[in-house]
Amino acid sequence: MPDVAAKIGVPADALIPYGFDKAKIAAPFLKSLAGRPDGALVLVTAVNPTPAGEGKTTTTIGLGDALNRIGKRAAICIREPSLGPCFGQKGGATGGGHAQVIPMEDINLHFTGDFHAITSAHNLLAAMVDNHLYWGNAQNIDPRRVVWRRVMDMNDRSLREMVTSLGGNGAPAESGFDITVASEVMAILCLSKDLEDLQARLGRIIVAYRKDRTAVTCADLKADGAMTALLKDAMQPNLVQTLEGNPALIHGGPFANIAHGCNSVIATTSALKLADYVVTEAGFGADLGAEKFFDIKCRKAGLSPKAVVIVATIRSLKMNGGLAKNALATEDLAALERGCENLGRHIENIRLFGVPAIVAINHFVQDTPAEIATVKAYAQAMGSEAILCRHWAEGSAGTEDLARRVVEIVERGEAKFAPIYSDDLSLLEKIETVARRIYRADGVVADKTITDRLARWEKEGFGALPVCMAKTQYSFTTDPTRLGAPTGHEVRVRDVRLAAGAGFVVAICGDIMTMPGLPKVPAAEGIGVNADGNIEGLF
């Protein structure tokens, strides 16, 4: 690990080892980087996901390796995997083939304990809310207006809605669980610049409302200090390596369909001080992850990305064109051309933010020359370029062309990044801007209770916050079955939540759930430990 750290100038005494193959980078060293210039930030995003797979993380790792291969000092910044998808349907999030980060099993499971710390800090606050009510309620909390739920890092649909305090342990109340990656504490950790900022943000969390409708915060309950203590080590970024021995910072992990979908600000900003090129990713398709990366993370952290890579597979594009999964191995240029409209929409959307975009075709062996040529021609017609990448099979050697093209784009200095809405728009106008400009919706549907709540938050001083759209990842619409690039739809906002500590307002759209469920055949059924003590079936 010291040799890997040395590649980006991190000395051995700045590492906090977790075994032999992973470490945290100590906070005092990170603070010492403040005066250094920033490298170039490159975002990897993708078309809307399908069961055929896109390979965004794999491409991120392959590009980082390839940049190092061509002589650039590059680092990778990605999110930590959640246990929910690992044991559910998606599997792990450490790449694949010859483009992986290691140790794969550790990263996909408990890693360095960051998610457990976030879960504990979140649930400590929930326990302190209930305890405050039990011991007399000095803050005059209205028990009907407690808004702080509990979390766990597992898909468990039975916990979505529940009743607490049965059996005489206080006043029974309706509550529920979200998955840890949807926790505001996760978002706060990922958006905080240091421990002081972390505690201030934790203190601003709204946990309940009094009978006069004024907010009760985490600081009112004096929980922010203990929560910071639980998160002290978790705030330090994790350093691991790719299969080719290049540095990768893996830190934080909010989902993009229900949260803001980016790794931590502290990992990204530190990497920018340590490397000439930093390759990061944002979750799911560009309509979710990239939009939130630009409108939330970059806005809050003052980041200015220089290039975007949009990952697509020919398989996923054919599915977006209406082809069934069992027919993807067959050449179908008509379905591919229809599916390319999804890619085209994402190319157009990235341009709205003023950042040049290039397409990475994540190669599968079934791809035919005619299909590859079709995607390349489509990207060119859209004013972009598509480059075939074979990092899964060949590692960095298979992604050299993409790396060289990214360097050319960055060195031309064409990026003029700006979010797509200003702080001074109303919260509803921000939601409508994303819906109309990114999703191409005709409008937003929200009942009076939603619009009244947004108006009240604006009066309370939260009107300048950005919005975080919680929506299905499979479609530009709120209907996961509408693939491609649909128009003529409306975005139904079912609920809104104020994340005062994280600094955004969550708009829950359609039927999206903040606590996912397991599929009919969960991946957990195939995971185990063999006779040699090695984990098998984790992917």
CATH of the domain at 202: 3.30.1510.10
Closest CA to 231 of 282, 274, 270, 188: 188
Peptide bond into 143 cis (omega under 30): no
CATH of the domain at 445: 3.10.410.10
Same domain? 18 vs 68: yes
Find tokens 């960055």 and name the residue.
Answer: 410
- pLDDT by 10-residue block (mean), the chain, 539 residues: 94 95 96 95 96 91 98 97 88 90 95 97 97 95 96 95 88 92 97 97 98 96 98 98 98 93 97 98 95 97 97 96 92 96 98 98 96 98 97 97 98 96 98 98 97 97 97 96 95 96 96 91 92 89
The strand pairing partners of 253, in sequence order, are none
Same domain? 183 vs 271: no
Kindly give the pairing relationship between strand 386-389 and strand 357-362.
parallel
The strand pairing partners of 46, in sequence order, are 311
CATH of the domain at 27: 3.40.50.300
Considering 412, 447, 470, which residue would you say is the last residue of a domain?
412
pLDDT reported for residue 107 = 95
How many separate domains does the chain show? 3
Same domain? 324 vs 395: yes
Asked whether residue 470 is assigned to any structural domain, the reply reads: yes
Asked whether residue 528 is assigned to any structural domain, the reply reads: no
Same domain? 472 vs 338: no
pLDDT reported for residue 538 = 86
Q: Are 507 and 259 in contact (CB under 8 A)?
A: no
Asked whether residue 532 is assigned to any structural domain, the reply reads: no
pLDDT reported for residue 365 = 93
Catalytic positions, please?
A: 56, 58, 79, 90, 256, 284, 364, 392
Asked whether residue 517 is assigned to any structural domain, the reply reads: no
Same domain? 278 vs 293: yes
Same domain? 118 vs 97: no
Same domain? 64 vs 139: no
Same domain? 68 vs 156: no
Same domain? 156 vs 301: no
| Domain of residue 248, residue span | 2-112+234-412
Asked whether residue 368 is assigned to any structural domain, the reply reads: yes
Please state, in angstroms and rounded to a whole number, the distance separating the CA atoms of residues 150 and 122. 7
Same domain? 179 vs 248: no
Same domain? 180 vs 268: no
Considering 211, 230, 249, which residue would you say is the last residue of a domain?
230
Asked whether residue 247 is assigned to any structural domain, the reply reads: yes
pLDDT reported for residue 367 = 95
pLDDT reported for residue 53 = 82
Burial profile 52-85: b = 16 or more Cβ within 10 angstroms, e = fewer: bbbbbbbbbbbbbbbbbbeebbbbbbbbbbbbbb
Asked whether residue 67 is assigned to any structural domain, the reply reads: yes
Report the amino acid identity of residue 74: A
Find tokens 């947004």 and name the residue.
Answer: 454
For the whole prediction, is pTM greater than 0.75?
yes
Asked whether residue 246 is assigned to any structural domain, the reply reads: yes
Cα angle 235-277-113, degrees, rounded to a multiple of 5: 20
Same domain? 365 vs 269: yes
Considering 183, 210, 230, which residue would you say is the last residue of a domain?
230
